[in-house]
Amino acid sequence: MDATSTLTLTSPAVGAEDGKLGGALSRVDGPLKVCGQARYAADFHLPGLTHATLVQSRVAAGRLRAIDTKSAEAHPGVLLVMTFFNAPRLPEGGQAGIKPPAGRTLSLLQDDRVHYDGQPIAVVVAETLEASRQGARLLQVEYDQEPPQLDFEAAKAQAHPPKEAQGQEPDSRRGDVEAAWSQAAHRLEATYTTPLEHHNPLETHATLAAWDGDQLTLWDSTQYVHGVKQTLSQRLGLQAEQVRVVSPFVGGAFGSKGSAWSHVVLAAMAAREVKRPVRLVVERTQMFGPVGNRPFTQQQFRLAADGGGQLTALEHRVHAETSRIEDWIEPSALISRFLYACDNVATTHRLVPLNVGVPTFQRAPGEATGSFALESAMDELAHQAGLDPLEFRRRNHSDFDAGQQLPYSSKSLLACYDQGAQAFGWSQRNPKPRATRRGDVLVGYGMATATYPAKRLASEARATLLPDGHVRVQCGTHDLGTGTWTLLTQVAADRLDLPPARIALEIGDTALPMAPVSGGSMTAASAGAAVHAVCELLRTHLAELAVTDEASPLHGVPHELIELREGRLRKTDEPGRGETLESLAARHADIDLQVNVRATPGPDAEKYSKHSFGAVFVEVHVDADLGEIRVPRIVAAYSVGNLLNAKTGRSQLLGGIVWGLSMALHEHSLRDPRYGRIANANLGEYHIPVNADIPDIELIIVPEDDPHIGPLGAKGIGEIGITGVAGAIANAVWHATGRRIRDLPISLDSLL
């Protein structure tokens, strides 16, 4: 395969059952990955390839006065130093096509303003990576500094509401919170915070940009090839058809790669200047700034219940950081609008702009942070009301989404509570905090509810019967490491009753039919539905071809009596009569063997509130003298509609739980309050769990049949795994120690 052709992948031969939906088909891309043959964006090579280094501002606010580029330009191998002073001017100052998720407010060297430490201010292109790095070091930058705003509490005075919170109103109100609060038997008023965090997928962002005349091709590590194409063409003043984006493999993304950040456009600009392909790999340290983050949130809660343990008032007020150049809200309070039954609910979201990089989607944006606060508050109030925290949640279970005023398409949360509690042994829990001890270790049990919306967007797909009887399936979606290659192969194999080895799948390229962003846990539901529909259509189309073809043994048979089984079209009630797909294909041209669909959510979509739910139970051990926290055991039960692949689906949920533990105990980007620089911008000091930190995790999938969610019955599993986990751990830490920690991450010093 050369660099410019679209990658086609076919499963190794496996048993037919593995290819059925719900089967544990192994990754079809697995052999390529373990052999080092899967090519990620930075692995592609083109003749004349050059290397770019992104240069960042070292001040948080001000103007660029001058950049002395002479020594850099004189360095052997350096081809271009592109700064504000010489960069080509873009339409609308580089601000055309701002439309999240793909189109964000970027720093494209169009003006001399500096808005945050880490902002891109130059690109150095050279013959080698070493020369470009050395060139970057040789730049002499002079700034006119201004005092940056980095003080969250001070800036809160000017906080403002976002235009929307993930498509919903930023504020909500039902009932009368004040009246209910004043009459309540039990009341909790508490403030929770979650820290600034940075995405650190194994593969950092990377782009390879190559021009062929006025045609631009980008090999980009992205969650949204069609979105990158759209926004890049607008930034650069091109027609959309002039841009192609290729992304066959992505080494983790988690929301940060849902947007085309500055480096993507800068690589394209630089490639046009040097008239050669440019590869720009964002360095690990550069992941902490110009490519998104999960912003710091401060969440103020008032939660009240009556004497019977029914919630009567809930107020959830969120203040979240954003940058000075773009409003982006972490919508932490959305979850509080529906998760529990409560008649009096008020939620608000406010933005606190600082001189920091633009925040963005990070795995379960809103739900991950919001569930920590809500589930902690529920635990605190349960204790106050003298109720077991699980019992308290059961009493406040809601059968109806009172926020959206819609019934649920399906909801199996009570079964998740029951099965999770049973497997965990929740009934063994001594309700008294700091009362369970094994030697020097304080033992705590905690639990929380997990939830994430089940979303779906329109997607297109194409299917073609090939002469050898294989079926080529094409869809411009992505595999972020999540298993899309495998899952779509499975959907097609299942629909067509073919072994997975006869599906030739193509994804990750704008040359393929349009698919939405692979974010919001909706790739299976969106692209999966399109592949499902296109295979269904191919089957009826081929049956039609056969019955109208005089050369076919099926000629004249009513097409509704034709079925496709094991690679043969045959008459339902006379299975001996029929022909193989190869024989049919031999008589027809490629174009006659091809079908296209655009699959959109049905009219049911607006009539229901659609969510996955789950329950997380954790055991923590806290060293009574040292405060060291270990998590020896997690049991989590989820209801996610159909689990489409038993193996990759499980991995998705496990990965989410691991990140939840990381959020609870490890991750924290430390920003210097004077200069706005991230002090731990590396994986040595930005802590994430290692294998020894991760316990046995027991997963329970509660079977669930959802007739409204889409043709596959799948609700999405990418993000629910992270939700609830930090709350469950904080609750378990409280149960172990009697100490309520309301600020993440929970570190041992907070327990001493």
Burial class (CB in 10 A: 0-12, 13-18, 19+), 439: exposed
Cα torsion for 571, 577, 582, 585, to the nearest 10°? Answer: -60
Cis status of the peptide bond prior to 745, with omega within 30 of 0: yes
SS3 411: coil
660 binding ligand MOS? (CB under 6 A): no
Q: How far is the CB of 445 from ligand MOS (least distance, A)?
A: 30
Alpha helices by DSSP H, listed for 102-141, are 129-137
Which residues, 6+ apart, have CB-to-CB distance to 55 below 8 Å?
A: 120, 121, 122, 123, 124, 136, 139, 141
Instruction: Give the residue, chosen from 520, 655, 656, 745, that forms a contact with ligand MOS under the rule CB under 6 A.
Output: 520
SS3 733: helix
CA distance 685 to 672: 14
Q: How far is the CB of 547 from ligand MOS (least distance, A)?
A: 45
Q: How far is the CB of 662 from ligand MOS (least distance, A)?
A: 15
Q: Cβ closer to ligand MOS: 11 or 222? A: 222
Instruction: Give the residue, chosen from 97, 357, 519, 716, that forms a contact with ligand MOS under the rule CB under 6 A.
Output: 519
- Contact call for residues 538 and 497 (beta carbons, < 8 A): no
Choices 74-82, 134-142, 361-369, 551-559; region in contact with ligand MOS by CB under 6 A: 361-369
Give a three-class secondary structure readout of 495-531. HHCCCHHHEEEECCECCCCECCCCCCCCHHHHHHHHH
Residue span 226-265 as binding mask against ligand MOS, x where in contact by CB under 6 A, dash where not: ---------------------------xxx--x-------
In the residue annotation, 719 being an active-site residue is answered as yes
Q: Cβ closer to ligand MOS: 258 or 446? A: 258
362 binding ligand MOS? (CB under 6 A): yes
CA distance 586 to 437: 74
CA distance 316 to 300: 6
Q: How far is the CB of 655 from ligand MOS (least distance, A)?
A: 12
Site for ligand MOS in 174-193 (CB under 6 A): none
Q: Cβ closer to ligand MOS: 258 or 578? A: 258
**CA–centroid distance for 593 within its chain:** 35
Burial class (CB in 10 A: 0-12, 13-18, 19+), 241: exposed
361 binding ligand MOS? (CB under 6 A): yes
Site for ligand MOS in 473-512 (CB under 6 A): none
Strands (E), 84-205: 113-114, 120-126, 140-145, 172-174, 186-194
Which tokens hold the place of 126?
A: 């050279």
- Contact call for residues 224 and 478 (beta carbons, < 8 A): yes
Q: Cβ closer to ligand MOS: 500 or 724? A: 724
Q: How far is the CB of 167 from ligand MOS (least distance, A)?
A: 13
Q: How far is the CB of 721 from ligand MOS (least distance, A)?
A: 12
Q: Could you tell me the CA-to-CA distances from 125 to 16, 73, 76, 212, 389 in Å, in that order?
A: 51, 10, 11, 19, 58
Site for ligand MOS in 199-228 (CB under 6 A): 223
By CB under 6 A, the count of residues binding ligand MOS is 11
Q: How far is the CB of 236 from ligand MOS (least distance, A)?
A: 25
Instruction: Give the residue, chosen from 365, 366, 476, 724, that forms a contact with ligand MOS under the rule CB under 6 A.
Output: 365
Check 315, 326, 506, 719 and give the catalytic one. 719
Instruction: Give the residue, chosen from 319, 363, 610, 708, that forms a contact with ligand MOS under the rule CB under 6 A.
Output: 363
Q: Cβ closer to ligand MOS: 253 or 562? A: 253
- Contact call for residues 532 and 712 (beta carbons, < 8 A): yes
Site for ligand MOS in 665-704 (CB under 6 A): none
Q: Cβ closer to ligand MOS: 223 or 355? A: 223
Q: Cβ closer to ligand MOS: 420 or 649? A: 649
Which residues, 6+ apart, have CB-to-CB distance to 584 below 8 Å?
A: 465, 542, 545, 546, 549, 552, 569
296 binding ligand MOS? (CB under 6 A): no
CA distance 382 to 403: 23
CA distance 139 to 121: 11
Site for ligand MOS in 525-564 (CB under 6 A): none
Q: How far is the CB of 722 from ligand MOS (least distance, A)?
A: 9
Choices 201-209, 339-347, 358-366, 631-639; region in contact with ligand MOS by CB under 6 A: 358-366
Q: Cβ closer to ligand MOS: 62 or 258? A: 258
Residues in the chain: 752
Site for ligand MOS in 389-428 (CB under 6 A): none
27 binding ligand MOS? (CB under 6 A): no
Strands (E), 16-154: 50-56, 62-68, 78-83, 113-114, 120-126, 140-145
SS3 341: coil
Q: Cβ closer to ligand MOS: 315 or 719? A: 719
Q: Cβ closer to ligand MOS: 229 or 455? A: 455
Q: How far is the CB of 253 from ligand MOS (least distance, A)?
A: 6
Residue span 298-327 as binding mask against ligand MOS, x where in contact by CB under 6 A, dash where not: ------------------------------
Q: How far is the CB of 365 from ligand MOS (least distance, A)?
A: 5
Binding residues for ligand MOS (CB under 6 A): 223, 253-255, 258, 361-363, 365, 519-520
Q: What are the residue numbers of the active site?
A: 719
